[in-house]
Each structure stands twice: as structure tokens, then as C-alpha cells.
Chain A
Amino acid sequence: MKVKIKKYTAVATWRWENSTSDDVCGICRVQFDGTCPNCRFPGDDCPLLNGKCGHSFHLHCVNDWIQTESSRGLCPMCRQKFEFDSGP
């Protein structure tokens, strides 16, 4: 029997590497796979930033923090200097 595919609908899911779907950004408390409160579309427009200390946040959230003088450039979680981990 030969089947001819006339039409199909593809569905895919995604998540950021090194995160589970339950993980939330400690600053905004939204899932990593969702957006920071100021963005509308998840994904590359609202990426994660992984710190060398092992803590991750939405880029936009941790940026708001790091830009304040009172942050002194420290990770909100562990208070080590927050440095961007560019990966292996």
C-alpha cells in the first residue's frame, strides 16, 4: 500500500540547555523557558545568562540588577562576582 502524505503539522518543544522546565528565574520568578516580565516572546529574544558561579537568570532580569550600583556586580544568589559563562 502506498501512502501519499498530503499535509502534516509539525510540533516541537524546546528548553534552554542545562535547565529543567520547572526552573524559574530567581529575580522575576518566571520559568526560564518563559520570558522576563518585559518581553513577549520566549526564546532568543529573551535569553538566559549563565553565571560562572552556576546561577542563571533571564539576561534582562540580571542586567537590571547588575546595572544598579547597589548590586556591586554580585550574583543575587551567592554574592560572588557575577561573570558571564560563555560555555565550553
Chain B
Amino acid sequence: MSTFAAKRLQKEMAKIHQGLAPGIFFVNSPNLQHWQMDIQVLDSNPLYAGKTFRLNFRFSNNYPIEAPEVTFIRAPDREIPMHPHIYSNGIICLDLLSSGNGWSPVQSVESVCMSIQSMLTGNTKNERPEGDEAFVLREGRSVRDIRFVYDDPTV
């Protein structure tokens, strides 16, 4: 891993140990390039109340110039949240996570978690994205190679 990315991630890790925003928890990091975080939605949204979801972060050598790969993963007591922009394999369609769209190098693991938290908070639809089944079947390619079309500013 590049010095730049490693130093930046160490800074973030140090800050995480001082505390995180409500509903965001550090789970573990087998190595510096790979972190897992848990998030909870704090309001009483019936879709997510009382549930915890796990996010998997992978960082490239170019982090934070390049966005991390962030997906939801299944684990005991951790499902993939229902959301019209979250595929059932955990892939999240969010402009913030896409280099060339919404990503900026001032974002961090914590700020990404907060954005995903609010993406869930604001959702009322108990549904998957259109074409979810076909999309999930084609799984196996890198998240980075997927070109999402950001056509819905309301979600």
C-alpha cells in the first residue's frame, strides 16, 4: 500500500478510536486496506429500526484520491438493507462512492458511513433496484467497473 494511503488510513483509524458519530461502529480490519463497519439507522424508520448492517470497505493505493469500494455484506444477524439503490448482493449505487461523480478526497470512512446512514434514513420503499436479479447474476466483476446512471436525485 502506498505511503500516502497508509498514512491517511492510520489517521482515520486513530480518530475512530476517539469516537464515531452515533450509529456507526468499527468492526475490524484484517489489514489496512480492508475495513468493516457496522451502521444503524437512528430514527424509527420501520424498514431498518432495530437492525444493524455491515459495510465492507476496500481501499486502493490511490485512496483518498480514488474512492474506496464500499458494499454491504451478509454476516450473522446482518442482512443487506432493502433500498431501491442497494442490490441484493450488497452493491450500493451512490454517486459519492464513484470516482468521477460524487467522490472527493476530503471524504472519509466515517463520512461515507454517515452518507449511507442518511440514504437509508430517507428511504420509504421496501424494494430492490430495477433489474436486481439479472444484475446479481452477472456478479463477479469489480464494483469499480460498473457504470451507474445517477438519474434519481430524490433518493
Contacts and interface: CB of A to CB of B under 8 A. Distances in A.
Interface of A: 26-30, 36-38, 61, 64-65, 68-70, 72, 74, 76-77, 79
- Interchain residue pairs A-B with the least CB separation, the first 4: A70-B100, A26-B106, A37-B7, A76-B104
B12 A29 contact: yes
Contact of A70 (B4, B8, B64, B99): B99
B4 A28 contact: yes
A83 B104 CA distance: 17
Given A27-B105, A30-B7, A36-B4, 14 more contacts: A27-B8, A28-B7, A28-B8, A29-B8, A29-B11, A37-B4, A37-B7, A61-B105, A64-B65, A65-B105, A69-B100, A70-B66, A70-B99, A77-B106
Contact of A38 (B4, B11, B66): B4
Contacts of A37: 3-4, 7-8
Nearest to B107: A76
B103 interface: yes
